[in-house]
Amino acid sequence: MRVLIIGSLGGQLGEATKIAMNNGAKVAHVENVDSALQALRAGQGADLLMVDIGNDISSLAKALKTERIHVPIVACGVSATPASAAGAIRAGAKEYIPLPPDAELIAAVLAAVANDDRPMIARDPAIRQVVSLADQVAKSNASILITGESGSGKEVMARYVHDKSKRASKAFISINCAAIPDNLLESELFGHEKGAFTGAVARRIGKFEEADGGTLLLDEISEMDARLQAKLLRAIQEREIDRVGGARPVKVDIRILATSNRDLIKAVQDGSFREDLLFRLNVVNLKLPPLRDRPGDIAALADYFAARYAAANGVANRPISDTARHVLLNRQWPGNVRELENAMHRAVLLAEGDEIGPDALRAPDGSKLGDAAPRGVVESATEAAQVSAQSAVGSTVAQVEQDLILDTLNHCLGNRTHAANILGISIRTLRNKLKLYADHGVSVPVPGNGGHADIGALA
Ligand SMILES: Nc1ncnc2c1ncn2[C@@H]1O[C@H](COP(=O)(O)OP(=O)(O)O)[C@@H](O)[C@H]1O
Ligand SMILES: [Mg+2]
């Protein structure tokens, strides 16, 4: 966890810094917002900004947004009035920490932001085999392609490979190629020089340079357009990149990992993915089996998620009852580990009594997981489509489509990638449609990784 502190370290902020370091954070410091922006553009990575409330948080938040630097802001202030806290949040801070700092509060905020402490659970022989292949190749610099259905743990595996590699102490940078519009992805990957295009207010270091010495994860690589695929190929072959608007290439030393939930061989056949790029990336292929093909993991994962979400929500860690275990084991889990994780999150919040019983195991729409034959999200989404189509006589195709898209997205707790997979459309198409709906004043579920459902919606 890399924390960038913004403000004068003389007073209480210095204390907060010490506490963050004691919690294992790598801390860097700048005096003001301008220096912070300079550092971030120059490739100083940060997972969290801790900003003294004396700074102009609102202009910091705006600059981060226009320059697409994704890092949460936590505001800190000595005179903690509710008004100052609210002001900081309104200006764009995620959290407010009153000073003098409370060690436990800082530890909790860091833990909530950090994802580093997530273990990979792998008990079933089917995944043990993949893990041992990962162990064998982690130490090399070989590019690795990680494939598997959505929610099967591709990002978890990428992190695992990095942690086992010789680059473990260096940066692990990941970029979701599907989540960034085509015209911005190039500068996101390779950076840009000041003035390279409208809005390029300053030189910006891209992910390739940020990952220098470490590992770069190109997540959902199949979504990259052909022009950029060519540039990526060159970057991987030559180990050098061209910043957008840059005069000369820049050398980089990185290890590349990539993930895809689409069959890239098929994508090569239908011409949407370059064969030479696939060969470059696919030096080793780690294939994650879907959860239904590794039943030996289900109980261990369920226990782990139950404990994790009980702790996160401050409720008792109840054991999972035998009947509930049976329900979990007999389900197909089309959304894989992510779906199981969300189910356990809900179960922790819904459970009554001493155990997590079958009643607490619910689909996002509130229906019981154990009812009738286990059904997948695909089936229920298809059915929802049929139902809405039947009752939709007289409405436009566009309206029916909008309903289906929003229902599916709700079903996936706002997770765009997952919803796009179920709908069989590209994430980009989904994003464009959502933007259109939002522009027309339709309320669209907020993006989520599915891990933080608004449980109020269940009731
Ligand atoms: N083996 C595992 N052990 C623990 N958690 C896992 C495991 N695999 C997946 N998860 C959890 O499931 C969710 C989805 O995993 P992710 O790696 O994002 O899947 P993918 O990238 O394949 O869609 C994440 O919250 C992740 O932490
Ligand atoms: Mg993923």
pLDDT at site 357 = 94
SS3 245: coil
Domain boundaries, the chain: 2-113, 125-289, 292-360, 377-457
Residue with CA nearest ligand 1 atom 24: 338
pLDDT at 389: 43
Residue nearest to atom 7 of ligand 1 (CA): 153
The pLDDT tens digits for 103-123 are 877 877 777 766 556 789 999
* CATH, range 125-289: 3.40.50.300
Of the residues 156, 260, 287, 415, which should be mutated to test ligand 1's pocket, given the most ligand atoms within 8 Å of the CB?
156
CA of 237 relative to ligand 2 center, distance in Å: 25
Contact 40, 60 (CB under 8 A): no
pLDDT of residue 456: 32
> Do the beta carbons of residue 19 and residue 103 sit within 8 Å?
yes
Nearest CA to 421 out of 336, 298, 329, 330 is that of 336
Please tell me the number of the ligand nearest to residue 450's CA: 1
Alpha carbon of 85 to those of 63, 77, 108, 422: distances in Å? 21, 8, 18, 40
The answer to whether the CB of 448 is under 6 A from ligand 1 is no
Number of continuous H segments (helices) and E segments (strands) in the chain: 19, 12
Q: Would you state the pLDDT for residue 114?
A: 63
Q: Which two tokens stand for residue 440?
A: 């027309």
Q: How far apart are the first and last CA of the chain?
A: 36
- All residues with CB under 5 Å from ion ligand 2: 155
Task: Fill in the DSSP letter of residue 82.
Answer: H
In Å, how far are 222, 375, 379, 410 from 383, measured between CA atoms? Answer: 29, 11, 6, 15
The predicted-structure confidence for 348-373, as pLDDT tens digits, reads as follows 988 988 999 999 999 887 888 877 54
Separation of CA 445 and ligand 2 centre (Å): 19
Q: How far apart are CA 371 and CA 336, in angstroms?
A: 19
Same fold, 125-289 and 292-360: no
Q: Which amino acid is at 355?
A: E
CATH of the domain spanning 2-113: 3.40.50.2300
Residues in the chain: 459
Q: Among 81, 28, 78, 67, which residue's Cα sits nearest to residue 50?
A: 28
Strand residues in 236-312 grouped as ranges (E): 240-241, 250-251, 255-260, 284-287
Give the model's pLDDT for residue 395.
57
List, in order, residues 6 or more apart from 410 with CB less than 8 Å away.
Answer: 364, 445, 457
From the list 211, 209, 217, the residue with the least C-alpha distance to 159 is 217
Ligand 1 mutation target, pool 117, 147, 337, 377, most atoms within 8 A of CB: 337
Tell whether domain 292-360 is in CATH 3.30.2090.10.
no
Q: CA-CA distance, 229 to 425, in Å (whole number)?
A: 20
Atom of ligand 1 nearest to the CA of 153: 17
Below-50 pLDDT ranges, the chain: 373-375, 385-392, 450-459
How far is it, in rounded angstroms, from Cα 316 to Cα 309?
10
User: CA 243, 245, 251: angle at the middle one, nearest 5?
Assistant: 25
For residue 166, report the distance from its CA to the centre of ligand 2, in Å. Answer: 24
**Residue with CA nearest ligand 1 atom 15:** 153
187 vs 435: CA distance, rounded Å: 22
Q: Work out which ligand 1 atom sits closest to the CA atom of 449.
A: 25
Q: Give the pair of three-digit tokens for residue 291.
A: 């959860």
Which amino acid is residue 166, in one-letter code? K
Q: How many C-beta neighbours within 10 Å does residue 445 have?
A: 18
> Which atom of ligand 1 is least distant from the CA of 304?
4
What per-residue confidence (pLDDT) applies to 419? Answer: 80
What is the spatial distance between Cα 410 and Cα 387, in angstroms, rounded to a whole number?
16
CA of 260 to the centre of ligand 2 (A): 8
Give the CA distances from residue 377 to residues 106, 168, 256, 309, 363, in Å, rounded to whole numbers and listed in that order. Answer: 39, 37, 33, 23, 9
**Whether 154 contacts 146, CB under 8 Å:** yes
The span from the CA of 258 to the CA of 451, in Å, is 23
Distance, CA 125 to ligand 1 centroid (Å)? 18
pLDDT of residue 396: 65
